[in-house]
Amino acid sequence: MLIRAAIEERLAPADPDGLRLALPRSLKADGAGARVGLLQRLASSRTFALGDRAGVLRAARNRSGRPFRLDVRQKVIVKALVSRHLGRGADRAAALAKHVVYLGRAGAGLDGARPDFFDRDLEGADPRTATQGWGEDRHHFRFIISPEHGDRLDLRPYVREVMERVAADLGEPGLTWLATCHYDTDQPHAHVLVRGLRSDGRDLVIPRDYVGYGFRARAQEVAQERLGDLSRVEAERRVWKETEADRFTGFDRRLLFERADDGTVADGVGMTDAWAALTRGRLRHLERLGLATREGRRYRLDGELETRLRTLQIRRDVIRTLNQRRLQGSLDVRVLDRDVTP
């Protein structure tokens, strides 16, 4: 089903008058593929607009009168954990060894195969040999790199390019890392282990801000170079998914900006533009989460909307981390940072 039809069907208002939203023509399918162009910095504003500026959702304007823009840049989720090495002797490397076994488990690789490992130069690396001596360090890092369109990327060269840029940012061109790619979920992704030791023998320390923003920016930068901009349909699909996300999204940030002085936002009933349709979808989901309350033709947003949504995301990340620790038998793995919504 096309995005236009899906949104119209799911956001048809449940009122006694049977009013039905009709989205503008600009939400119909666009068969054009992604445009691969010259590299631009991810900080640049690459959005759809109208006419000679390449596309907003037609008639979709917020309270300030500014058009609602679609971000067409590639996105990548980066999650990071730091694992401290506890105990003495061989015990210090026990958690790392268990994690390596977990990463190399049968069925996680392409077409259900056992995944193999690689590093900066070597294919089919032996993970035990590659991580030998890591247990003597204070810690190591674990990263998950999950491109939004990982199924369109050759993940190995992609990861190598990302890690080369990350190493340069950290001032450690000889950064020691080991990676493997998993295809056992809907989103192909890479697991990257980074040794917590610099080439000069000092501990490798990665600032939280770099993990949350810099690392992800590099990953998105490389994905953008290789895949180019999203098509209009893909960008619309991404926005629609945001309306049902259990986390603080860029869409919520826009809702907060549109909030009136009394803390409410319009429900969008009776309006036929895309912004109103998307607003209704997000508000319905926030209502299900207990974070928005209908008051007539408006919704009152929770006063701590951003905090509560971020807490919900953190709680789910922690649960996933604890489950992973249970499976691996790891005793000291903590979240260093998680994906941060721009």
CATH number at residue 133: 3.30.930
Nearest to 145 by CA among 155, 136, 135: 155
Tell me if 297 is assigned to some domain: yes
Do 106 and 207 fall within a single domain? yes
Tell me if 5 is assigned to some domain: no
Spatial contact of 117 and 176, defined as CB atoms under 8 Å apart: no
Tell me if 17 is assigned to some domain: no
Tell me if 325 is assigned to some domain: no
Do 56 and 182 fall within a single domain? no
Which residues touch 314 (CB under 8 Å, ≥6 apart)? 335, 338
Q: Is 268 left (phi over 0), alpha (psi -120 to 50) or beta?
A: left
Range(s) of the domain holding residue 137: 76-228+333-337
pLDDT one-digit tens code per residue, 85-130: 887 766 788 889 889 998 998 888 888 888 999 999 989 899 999 9
Do 88 and 219 fall within a single domain? yes
Which pTM was predicted?
Answer: 0.67
pLDDT averaged over the chain? 76
Please tell me the distance from the alpha carbon of residue 157 to that of residue 257, in angstroms, as a whole number: 40
Spatial contact of 73 and 306, defined as CB atoms under 8 Å apart: no
Do 171 and 246 fall within a single domain? no
pLDDT one-digit tens code per residue, 139-181: 999 999 999 999 999 999 999 999 999 999 999 999 999 999 9
Nearest to 96 by CA among 115, 81, 112: 81
Residue bearing the bigger pLDDT, 146 or 329: 146
Tell me if 27 is assigned to some domain: no
Do 100 and 202 fall within a single domain? yes
Task: Count how many domains the chain has.
Answer: 2
| Exposed/middle/buried for residue 265 (C-beta within 10 Å: 0-12, 13-18, 19+) | buried
> Strand 117-118 to strand 76-84: parallel, antiparallel, or no bridges (unpaired)?
unpaired
Tell me if 321 is assigned to some domain: no
Do 130 and 56 fall within a single domain? no
Please tell me the distance from the alpha carbon of residue 179 to that of residue 189, in angstroms, as a whole number: 10
The DSSP bridge partners found for residue 117 are 125, 180
Tell me if 316 is assigned to some domain: no
Amino acid 235 reads A
Do 217 and 251 fall within a single domain? no
Do 223 and 239 fall within a single domain? no
Do 221 and 272 fall within a single domain? no
Spatial contact of 146 and 220, defined as CB atoms under 8 Å apart: no
